Structure 1
Amino acid sequence: MPFQWNTLPTPLLEALMTGSTGKAHLARSALLALGAPQPLVDLGLTLLAEAWTHDPLDANLATQTLSLDAKLHLLPAPIKALLKQASKSQGKLRSLQPALAHARDEVSASEMLTLASQIEPFFPAVAHMLQAEGHFLAGRFEQAGEACRALDVPLPRIMNLEAECALRTGDRERAITRYRESLLASPWQVNTLMRLYDLVMQRDQTISMPKGETVVLLYSWNKADDLDKTLASLAASDAKEACIITLDNGSTDATPQVVDAWANRLGKRFSKIRLPSNIGAPAARNWLMTLPEVRNSRWTVYLDDDVELVPDWLGRLGAATEAYPAAGVWGCKVVDIARPAIIQNADLHLREPYDDSTLAHISNQPTLFEVTDLHHEGPDLGQFDYIRPCASVTGCCHMFSTAKLLQAGEFDIRFSPTQLDDLEHDLRLLLAGHIPVYTGHLTVRHARLSGTKCAMSSAASGNAFGNQLKLQYKIGPDNAKAMRKIAAQALLDDVLTKQEALSL
């Protein structure tokens, strides 16, 4: 029998629709389920146990999960045995938690494997979990798969990791089989559903150049070296027919020389604009939007000046436009250029504000909505490699239908010099029914860290916080409610369509 998404209480439905990964997210979702009527309590315990598998050294969480199950007796025996072992090993595991946190923060495979060797003598099952993750991060997918199989306990996270290992060693059939088994056992896994559907439909292998004129827009300020590398990867990619326009936003370094050199190399398809002063990101985007080359194009791509593109990047975005032609903007997965297992951005969704919202505490005003950050809760293990609707995509590399871009209007200069102008523009598209779409089958490497990994100056932090407040007030309660309703319905429709297509 298919998983009955429509029967879930709205808060739990919205939470699970946004994703099924990350310890904090799973734990919060578990609390929503545990507070629901009896049939969902089983799901709540399952989610809590799965949250533990994302941080198997958290003996406190294991103990709390066991305490709940002692009254309900719902957890399967193999999972209960793991939680009991974790609870009994509380002292040893707690002392090693900082080492695991550091290994994950640095995405260090060697640290992860060293930690696994320390744990193996007293808790082999957890050692296998860490070995699987460590080998995967090191690109040793066969060894990672062996570690998954050595665990021999039906944990969704490990089953999915084994499936991903099979895919990356060329065994596509086994990957699909294993993902399907994982989903049948735990049908609430929306990330797994998205991943399985795309593998079955071969969306991960689809490349299709956008039909019609494409213009690629860049703006830059004092990042000559990064811009040069970005333009080099762009020139070497499949965007051979695209018009490229670069705006020098008042740079005082070697940016003008870099732009001139690329203008000479690329000829007529490359245009340049030089401004005498830095007008900020939103105004630079707007300046470029006004150009005849843009208004006459079918597709408009905004590209950051510090990215590394894969050769087929435009064809990957083109495939996303064919999968979801009604969208207004399409974006991609963005990872750190030096440590690509760190995900900077994936599909962004709207959620109910948490009670401990920093924004609400500092502003003394209710927070109307928040944007999910599940991609910051762990390394890239393939869990975001799919195409689906969302509320917003990263402005690092995103493609618009030019008609819908112009229809939505200019980027709001009140978010100058930068931060959240792209998010606000995406939310306008969302409200207009032009749902943004994310493709994790395109990964772009980004030189600048963002999100939780980004160390900002106090001035930059103040600007970012101020822009968050501006965004809340600009959207307002009525639009915030409407946005969440539109986004949630788009996610539900997408899930039900794919669930039916897979006969789940």
Structure 2
Amino acid sequence: MPPANDFSSLPPLPAPAPGFVAAMCDALPIWALTSEQRELRLSLCRILLGRNNSDGLAAAQGLLALSFQEDPFDAPSLALLAEAEAKHPFLPPRQAAMARLVAAALADIPDDVPFEAIRAGGDTDLIARYLEVAAKDKAHGLARLAPAFGSLCRLPDADLAGRLLDGFAPHLPGTLFARLSAELAFLRGTPEAALKALAGLDPTAWGLFAAIAASRALEHLGARRQALAACLAARAVLPQHVNLTLRAFALAQARPAAAPAQRDEAAVCLYSMNKAGLFRECLAHLAATDLGGALVAVLDNGSTDDTPAVVAEAAKRFPEGRFLSVRLPVNIGAPGARNWLLARPEVAACRHVAFLDDDAFPQADWLSRLLETARAHPEAGTIGCAIVDVDAPRDHQAADFNLFPPEMGAQSLPETRERLFVCEPCRGAADYGLYAYTRPCLSVSGCCHLLPRRTIEAVGGFDIRFNPTQFDDLDRDIRSFLAGAPCVYDGTVRVGHKQGSSLAVAQTQGQVAQVVGNKIKLEYKVSDAEADRLWRENLALLGRDLLAKDAAVGELARAVAAKPTA
């Protein structure tokens, strides 16, 4: 059993009165979206700071304090924190002093070697060289480290990252260096090493960060009870934090081993074109996961490379009669490939169909866990999961997708009146467990999603007007939502994704045009009445789910507090 880090005495912060979350879900339904998306959090905090309301002020102060602990070098959050602290001082003295020190460093970053240009180039050797030289700048060491710290933590060589960070130690206050070292230990070290580093942090400056990170590390070690205790300790200080509530509720649920898929219970479908090497890795990894009696159906979407040989070779990895392959002479796009697989009699005979990207690497028990979630949520139209990078530190790519109200979106299509603005809460975020929850939502990532047969029959497959790809998943999830079958996101299941979404990596003029064109198609498929219904019902659904879990976690916290200690 791992050591029990004690988070029972976290320094208090201003907190809103009971009932605040319910009031916010009524007054500002977007509150239920997330407390972790930076731009949304800043927007909400500005709204609350501008109101003459003590509960709103306390809620904003707490969220801003956490923002600094989570990312000391985020300049917009730091500036708003300084503004709030100047008007109504509330930070523990050591955290206030640390925030002032970092703010002063960020205001004096030399512009002789702009790190943003180095990061954009993606040359990790050049990033390492920048950090090596920056550590020798006694006057501006912290200022030069600030924009590069995230890249340091994600260098391919974790040992090199540690040595580079050590080079800054003489120029940083000890408590700040310890905080940065703890983050590196969490992201690149073992859970045991992370817990040791987190236990050494000054709780008056970094206690919330330590509790949240320790909760995740403890969960990785199988110590769910201790993980829940750490999460509840953080939530006791920040009862307004949406993700902490959802996370605590998920940790409190019993999670017995899920039963493997039975024969005809699930088909796992993949399609690929001209990615032979990557597809070989993907299929080999898939064969090593616990598929039970599931059928695996693979479609070669008009490949001209070695993909046919890869598929033939992969067939030997799966049980006889449990592997089906289809080869098409031309590429029919992602929606067409999915529909083709759905129409195969062997796939149509299965009660669930799971689609995986050809560069997806799911955890061992992914299928049985998603099927268990489907059984627990028979109303769901689609079941999805957390999508993360394959490489360490396995940052988030996607969680649950939901809609902003139209007035909150930034119009990007001047000839179209956009109304569908998706909140992507976690792209690039480190995995501190704050997206490891289960809840209903508008849509989930198409990288890995499970479709119940009844909703396939009710709302149909994928619209080929979105060929070759992009927004076909969201379009189908919207149709399912409007038909009364919202998605369910299970962020306790993680799937590694090697190449990132096509939306995120679109760079060429043709790629961008494809994305923009399909977004226009989506906008014109949804009527004004449907668009209005979507965001309103989506936020109302999130609000009801949050309030139910807020009440349950509050009762749990009171029960834990009343329990005598040993």
1:369 aligned residue: 420
Describe the SS at the equivalent of 2:531.
helix
State the identity %.
Answer: 32
> How far, CA to CA, are the matches of 2:162 and 2:421 in structure 1?
32
- The answer to whether the Cα contact below 8 Å between 1:246 and 1:271 also exists between their aligned partners in 2 is yes
Answering whether residue 111 of structure 2 is matched by residue 84 of structure 1, we say no
> C-alpha displacement at 1:201, in angstroms?
1.1
> How far, CA to CA, are the matches of 1:238 and 1:470 in structure 2?
38
2:144 aligned residue: 95
> Given the two structures, how large is their TM-score scaled by the length of structure 1?
0.90
Note closer, same or farther for the CA distance 1:122–1:378 as it changes in structure 2 (3 Å cut). Answer: same
2:67 aligned residue: 51
Note closer, same or farther for the CA distance 1:270–1:141 as it changes in structure 2 (3 Å cut). Answer: closer
> How far, CA to CA, are the matches of 1:438 and 1:391 in structure 2?
9
- The answer to whether the Cα contact below 8 Å between 1:12 and 1:32 also exists between their aligned partners in 2 is no
> C-alpha displacement at 1:77, in angstroms?
4.4
2:457 aligned residue: 406
> How far, CA to CA, are the matches of 1:216 and 1:485 in structure 2?
34
> How far, CA to CA, are the matches of 1:478 and 1:123 in structure 2?
56
1:136 aligned residue: 186
Matched ranges for 1:417-432 at <5 A: 417-432=468-483
Describe the SS at the equivalent of 1:326.
coil
> Given the two structures, how large is their TM-score scaled by the length of structure 2?
0.81
For residue 320 of structure 1, what is the amino acid of its counterpart? T
Which moves more between the two structures, 466-475 or 68-77? 68-77
> C-alpha displacement at 1:206, in angstroms?
4.2
2:14 aligned residue: none
Note closer, same or farther for the CA distance 1:207–1:213 as it changes in structure 2 (3 Å cut). Answer: closer
**Deviations along 1:101-121, whole A, 9 cap, x unmatched?**
423565875537744762675
Answering whether residue 80 of structure 2 is matched by residue 33 of structure 1, we say no
Which moves more between the two structures, 37-46 or 447-456? 447-456
Answering whether residue 228 of structure 2 is matched by residue 179 of structure 1, we say no
> How far, CA to CA, are the matches of 1:386 and 1:282 in structure 2?
29
Structure 1: segments with no counterpart, 5+ residues: none
1:474 aligned residue: 525
**Deviations along 1:157-195, whole A, 9 cap, x unmatched?**
332112222333454332221111111110122222222
2:244 aligned residue: 192
Note closer, same or farther for the CA distance 1:422–1:196 as it changes in structure 2 (3 Å cut). Answer: same
- The answer to whether the Cα contact below 8 Å between 1:23 and 1:54 also exists between their aligned partners in 2 is no
Note closer, same or farther for the CA distance 1:405–1:111 as it changes in structure 2 (3 Å cut). Answer: same
Match of 1:282 among 329, 332, 335: 335
**Deviations along 1:197-252, whole A, 9 cap, x unmatched?**
2222133x542345662122222211222222322233332223112222221111
- The answer to whether the Cα contact below 8 Å between 1:20 and 1:191 also exists between their aligned partners in 2 is yes
> C-alpha displacement at 1:432, in angstroms?
1.6
2:487 aligned residue: 436
**Deviations along 1:409-460, whole A, 9 cap, x unmatched?**
1311111101110111111111222111111222212222226862543312
- The answer to whether the Cα contact below 8 Å between 1:233 and 1:311 also exists between their aligned partners in 2 is no
Note closer, same or farther for the CA distance 1:448–1:188 as it changes in structure 2 (3 Å cut). Answer: same
Note closer, same or farther for the CA distance 1:64–1:410 as it changes in structure 2 (3 Å cut). Answer: closer
Structure 2: segments with no counterpart, 5+ residues: 1-16, 109-139, 558-566
Describe the SS at the equivalent of 2:527.
helix
Aligned length: 500
Answering whether residue 359 of structure 2 is matched by residue 306 of structure 1, we say yes
**Deviations along 1:270-311, whole A, 9 cap, x unmatched?**
222222111111111112222223333211111222222332
1:382 aligned residue: 433
Match of 1:118 among 163, 168, 173: 168
- The answer to whether the Cα contact below 8 Å between 2:260 and 2:293 also exists between their aligned partners in 1 is no
> How far, CA to CA, are the matches of 2:406 and 2:156 in structure 1?
29
> C-alpha displacement at 1:344, in angstroms?
1.8
> How far, CA to CA, are the matches of 1:126 and 1:11 in structure 2?
38
> How far, CA to CA, are the matches of 1:104 and 1:469 in structure 2?
38
**Deviations along 1:52-98, whole A, 9 cap, x unmatched?**
33331246643542233322344454543332333344434443222
2:275 aligned residue: 223
